[in-house]
Amino acid sequence: MNNHSTTSVLDGQALVPLAAPADAAQAAALRDGLLGGGLHIVEVGLRTPYSMTALGELASHGELIVGAGTVLDAAQAEAALDAGAQFLVTPGYADDIVEVAKRRGVPIVPGVATATEVLRARQAGLRFVKLFPANVLGGLTLIDALSAAFGDMRFMPSGGVSQATLAEHLAHPAVTAVSGSWLTSGAMLDKGADAVAEAVRASVEIAASVAEGGSGA
């Protein structure tokens, strides 16, 4: 899963939950729920007015690997990194954001939807990309096609993945991680840390089963 760095904080991470906390209570439920469920990474989508604050607060605790998601321009990328983000994720491919990540020495997972974007990412030295929105684009069927042409690229599908389809996604040889909000949606965060932890534990177990060669069922 390594992207332009010898050792990446993303290495070995099969689940990258996406969350966009709307307030301090949701951020606390997110932190405690992830840690309680045994997951130590989160992508904070910069989709709410509170998201950047949440990113900074989560990063300051030091218990989670915190990345910034839905990064739309270089200035936002710089602000997120200044706030403590350890990796960047974008919904589409953008040269300026990739350059910020390279200059700052952090991993970036750019969003791709076409073979052209996969090729641009590869030419930029990246080998790990986010397929978004995966369910709209064809999901694993598209990954089959893209991985046939780009054998050294690895994918993180995002969009439409759920606990029910997690195992089949992680079992795909070109998929090294799955992103999604089913674990950490606003509605889930409103249920509190215990609910988040329960969902996280179930998904962590599925991911472990797939890694060990099981069905995940």
**Catalytic residue positions, numbered:** 43, 130
* Three-class DSSP labels, 197-214: HHHHHHHHHHHHHHHCCC
User: Which helix (DSSP H) or strand (DSSP E) does residue 131 occupy?
Assistant: strand 128-131
* 107: preceding bond cis by omega (within 30 degrees): no
CA 27 to chain centre: 17
Helix (H, G, I), strand (E, B) or coil at 195: helix
